[in-house]
Amino acid sequence: MWRVGGAMGVACLIDLPRESDLRNRAVACSRSIQNSKGFGMRLFVATSMRIHAVFAHRRTTCWRSRLPMAAFAGIVGILLAGPQRDVVAEETKASDRPNIIYILADDMGYSDIGCYGSEIATPNLDALADNGIRFTQFYNTARCCPTRASLLTGLYPHQAGIGHMMDDRGHDGYRGDLNRNCVTIAEVLGQAGYRTYMSGKWHVTKTVQPKDESGKHNWPRQRGFDRFYGTIHGAGSFYDPNSLTRDNHLISPYADSQYQPETYYYTDAISDHAVRFIEEHRDQIDQQPFFMYVAYTAAHWPMHALEKDIAKYRGKYDAGYQAIRDARYQRMIDLGVIDAGSTINWPIPDAWKLTKFLDWDIRNMEVYAAMIDNMDQGIGRIIASLKATGQFDNTLICYLQDNGGCAENYGRGKIGPPREDKPTLPPLADDYLEPDMQPKQTRDGYPVRVGKGVMAGPADTYIGYGRGWATVSNTPFREYKHWTHEGGVSTPMIVHWPARIDRRGELEKTPGHLIDLMATAVDVAEADYPEIFHDGQSIQPMEGKSLLPTFAGRPLQREAIYWEHEGNRAVRRGDYKLVAKGAEGQWELYNIAADRSEQNDLATQQPQIVKELAALWQAYAERANVFPLKPRPLGH
């Protein structure tokens, strides 16, 4: 422990147990000094900022070498005596680097936002697209938590320890927890002088209800984020989310003194806290750039939405599944996000459509649309806060989705009961912490209902929107969330950065993958990706490529892009994609440039290409902890 103090009696203590604490405590020192006045205060504010810069900025080696205390104290002494013009230069450089905001939506298909062909109103995302770039061949990993692991770390999910879900399956690629051989974007940018914020869904640790503080070792604050508001678990009620956390403490939305809206709705809460972080950053530490990760749970089941938003879509889907899909397909062609020559608007099989309960399923889609609409409203508030604080032009915003539309049958398997006339269960106390993904009851005592006929939207329902509408969401691609065909792994990707991107409303056809988001952040932040971190642990090299060249219309050079989830496998090299369903499934081969709907399997016609791509995938799987395919959870 060492002490910085001086002219106005200002002092602070900074403990240096490990790299992840050094930056935060140096910044805390800066804040405490700012409470003083006069020349001495200005000197020490500048000095504190220089301490932060020297030990955080990318050119330093202190993060890796962990200097002895005597050497550290010597550098502090040099900084105290050093010329202030260096401080000014460092501040100027920091202010030139952009803010970075990554926005991730949940369980939505390629065609689900307006600028990619949807009838759902997303004017704020559309405006970002009109003044930025839309990628037409961007990819995720086909599932919630593997996508989050890849986005955060720049690695394929098995390399980060999350090849499946949040359970330990006895192999390093399937631990259900971020490992210590990876770093998050927040950890890397934090050491480069960025403040780091997160609002939304975490879902990269199996420890949701820790017994003590050590159980939070993979919570956001322990993985580089300065502030956090959101859920640790991967799904829950939008009115009463389980595992809701502020910074490092589980909270109830109904006993949260810092946030009490008239109606609690989780999508609004995620947006509102993103706005709060932006405004507080401006008011408190405006001299630093920031990284923010906004991870919505919209439009993951349950289909929960506010009545004011549902009302906009009442009757919108009465024409049924195929008519909505046909209209989307034509708009997508008109917008240029797909090509008529390389896609087929194949008809939705009758078996995937409901007839007896069609009105009920139309209501499900109305609520689904309302969820996306509400998310876009929140993104609009985030944009407005950036403009109000003068940060919009030099903020890189990227929007994407974690997997394709979800055909899971959650809450749809039986005929559901009607709503009770009055509550039948005791009300819950305001400070009650909801433990369940699907609550047993609402706060005011109504049982939570599932099943056909239960009209989605309110807090006492818990239903998914099903295969028919998921097929509409994924127009015109095959398969869904879980699978590595195009319907499972294709995502919109909107990039907006007025200060650096001159392209306005253009389409970018270069294939990309969310592993590229770490490399992009490191590039634009002028950060160093570490070789050693977490108390001397070796860190795996980034797998992704910086997207910065594509912002100027230049190509990327890459060997291939890879996937595996639940035995579903794929590799794409150039225009050719090799893909299989299930661990025992046969390889299928498609020329994506000519057949992105994956309707014409070329495997028997092009055996040499199959052999080459299969060998590439095998080499990837062996080095990336993919094997064994589909291991069983420990204890099963």
Catalytic residues: 144, 203
Nearest to 603 by CA among 582, 579, 621: 579
Other CB atoms within 10 A of residue 537 CB: 14
The secondary structure of 513-541 as a DSSP string is ETTHHHHHHHHHHT----SEETTTEE-PP
Task: Determine the residue type at 563.
Answer: W
Other CB atoms within 10 A of residue 248 CB: 12
Burial (0-12, 13-18, 19+ Cβ within 10 Å), 622: exposed
CA 341, distance to chain mean position in Å, is 32
E strands, 1-151, in order: 2-5, 11-14, 99-105, 133-139
Tokens in use for 532?
Answer: 């050693």
Q: Do residues 297 and 238 lie in contact, with contact meaning Cβ atoms separated by under 8 Å?
A: yes
Q: Do residues 482 and 568 lie in contact, with contact meaning Cβ atoms separated by under 8 Å?
A: yes
Q: Do the bridges between strand 290-295 and strand 99-105 make them parallel or antiparallel, or are there none, so unpaired?
A: parallel
**Alpha carbon distance 571, 217 (integer Å):** 33
**Alpha carbon distance 174, 627 (integer Å):** 9
389: left (phi over 0), alpha (psi -120 to 50) or beta: alpha
Other CB atoms within 10 A of residue 379 CB: 25
**Alpha carbon distance 581, 55 (integer Å):** 48
| Secondary element (H or E) of residue 277 | helix 266-284
**Alpha carbon distance 232, 249 (integer Å):** 11
3-class secondary structure, 598? coil
**Alpha carbon distance 516, 151 (integer Å):** 8
**Alpha carbon distance 24, 193 (integer Å):** 10
**Alpha carbon distance 587, 567 (integer Å):** 12
Burial track 186-224 (b if 16+ CB lie within 10 A, e otherwise): bbbbbbbbbbbbbbbbbbbbbbbeeeeeeebebbbbbbb
Q: Give me the phi and psi of 398, to 5 degrees please.
A: -125, 130
**Alpha carbon distance 350, 467 (integer Å):** 11
